[in-house]
Amino acid sequence: MAAANESDPRPRSAKFDFAAALKDAALAAAVAFGLFSLMLGLRSETGASGRLEVVSRPELLAAAVAAVFVGRLAVALIAQGRVAIDFARALPAATPAFERLRRFALPALLAFALLVPVLFYSNRYFLDLGILVLTYVMLGWGLNIVVGLAGLLDLGYVAFYAVGAYSYALLAQNFGLSFWICLPLAGILAALWGIMLGFPVLRLRGDYLAIVTLAFGEIIRIVIVNWQSFTNGPNGISGIPRPSFFGIPFDSSAAGFAARFGLEFDPTHRIVFLFYLILALALLTSFVTLRLRRLPIGRAWEALREDEIACRSLGINTTNTKLTAFAMGAMFGGFAGSFFATRQGFISPESFVFMESALVLAIVVLGGMGSQLGVVVAALVMIGGFEFFRQFEQFRMLVFGTAMVAIMVWRPRGLIATRTPSVFLQQKKIISADIIDEARE
């Protein structure tokens, strides 16, 4: 933003060149007309006779073109007047305030999360939403290991989610294993897949790695769709065993949870249990990640993100280091997947499309790569906000896109882009995003 200001050679007092701005706006409107004439102007609809008919919508097209014209004119005039809108400065420069907020935000959020089932016991919708948000928080924290710490762009994270879900579903159905046995098995299987994928592809870097992981995510999904005899293909697996309270089922029978604990039977008991289960799993993910960050492996991941060549010059086996990051991220994806399977009771390949990977990655990037709290905030905003704006129907995508653009303009390195050192001698100093940013440019 600042650079754009400096490079603008026109003096502040120059007169508005209204003709040039008009010409510019007209050109933009023409482009918009070309683009929107087919997209908005025409629409195929089922007519009265049941045949497809082309309906023209000139008023919508005119509105879109007019909006572009007016907007472009305003932009051109503002640029001429050098009323530069510096987004980065117009919005609060939040670093110290953010740091203070962060100290209180963590315990507050945790306490709130623990109390949600108590406060909203009668609100089934809210509990379900809470479980959904926590699932994405856990996925975000898992992916954060790969993307945020090790700096490996993984666009196929949903594959490990799928492996975890199908592992649980198939193990539980075919061998009758309980959730608590299947959970670690699903994590291990997902980690194994992570390593199997990692071996050939981790020689690649950056964009190339992203493309290959994207392909891997699709391969897993397509295999699940087509391997009918094993996964039941697109029909999915239904009747996946529901979770039990360490062996005590949540049902109205005499041996059920309610009867055993002398409560009146209520189907919400299971939902509350699921809520605390995913909360515990998510906190485990976070705890392990924070722990690993202080170990040599975690420092090696971060060093790898900063400079791979320097890592190799110090004798760090970068392939193994990347593989462990991949496996660790995949394992937590697998845990989340098996939770998803037991919660839904039904899984099908449709739950594991690329959109899910993109959503989790967006949570990590918007939250601030490497930041635990950032992921929570981003998941709350993205998943919770998405539900909140449901009433706006198709416009919620628009709101959503605008919010994402705003965050990228305002805080290009995510909501919380600072880094806390893993170890310190005298004083723990938070490393600001500017330095991390500057170093990478």
Partner 1 sequence: MNAAGEILLEARHLSMRFGGLVAVDDLSFSARRGKITAIIGPNGAGKTTVFNCITGFYQPSQGMIRIAHTDGKEFLLERLPDFRIAAQARVARTFQNIRLFAGMTALENLLVAQHNRLMLASGFTLLGVFGWPGYMHAEQAAIEKARRWLDRVGLANRADDPAGALPYGAQRRLEIARAMCADPVLLCLDEPAAGLNPREAGELNKLLAAIRAEGKTSLLLIEHHMGVVMEISDHVVVLDYGKKIAEGPPAEIRNDPKVIAAYLGVEEEEVAR
Q: Which is nearer to partner 1, 321 or 348 (CB)?
A: 321
Strands 42-46, 237-238: pairing is: unpaired
Residue 373 contacts residue 203 (beta carbons within 8 Å): no
By beta-carbon proximity to partner 1, the closer residue of 59 and 438 is 438
Q: Which of 93, 291, 405, 408 binds partner 1 (CB under 8 A)?
A: 291
Examine residue 324 and tell whether it contacts partner 1 (CB under 8 A): yes
Is 306 a binder of partner 1 (CB under 8 A)?
A: yes
Q: What is the closest distance, in whole angstroms, from the C-beta atom of residue 309 to partner 1 in the complex?
A: 6
* By CB under 8 A, residue 312 contacts partner 1: yes
**Minimum distance from residue 311 beta carbon to partner 1 (Å):** 7
Residue 310 lies near partner 1 (rule: CB under 8 A):
yes
Q: Are 135 and 376 in contact (CB under 8 A)?
A: no
> What's the closest the beta carbon of residue 105 comes to partner 1, in angstroms?
23
Q: Which of 309, 355, 390, 391 binds partner 1 (CB under 8 A)?
A: 309
Out of 59, 247, 315, 355, the residue judged to bind partner 1 by CB under 8 A: 315
If binding is defined by CB under 8 A, does position 131 make contact with partner 1?
A: no
Residue 112's SS3 state is helix
Query: Which residue stretch of 30-38, 211-219, 293-301, 391-399 sits at the interface with partner 1 (rule: CB under 8 A)?
Result: 293-301
At 237, which helix (H) or strand (E)?
strand 237-238
Task: Tell me which residues in 372-431 interact with partner 1 (CB under 8 A).
Answer: 419, 421-429, 431
* Distance separating alpha carbons of residues 304 and 173, to the nearest angstrom: 41
As measured in angstroms, the least distance from the Cβ of 376 to partner 1 is 22
In Å, the largest CA–CA distance within the chain is 85
Phi-psi label, residue 418: left if phi above 0, alpha if psi -120 to 50, beta otherwise:
beta
The residues in 158-177 that bind partner 1, with binding defined as CB under 8 A, are: none
CB 119 to partner 1: min, Å:
34
Whole-number Cα distances in Å, 278 to 135, 141, 343, 357: 7, 13, 10, 19
Q: Is 300 in the site for partner 1 (CB under 8 A)?
A: yes
What is the spatial distance between Cα 98 and Cα 408, in angstroms, rounded to a whole number? 17
Pairing type for strands 237-238 and 346-347 reads: antiparallel
In order of 1, 13, 123, 129, 396, the CA distances from 390 in angstroms are 34, 47, 18, 13, 7
Q: Which residues bind partner 1 (CB under 8 A)?
A: 288, 291-292, 295-297, 299-300, 302-303, 306-307, 309-318, 324, 419, 421-429, 431, 435-436, 438-440
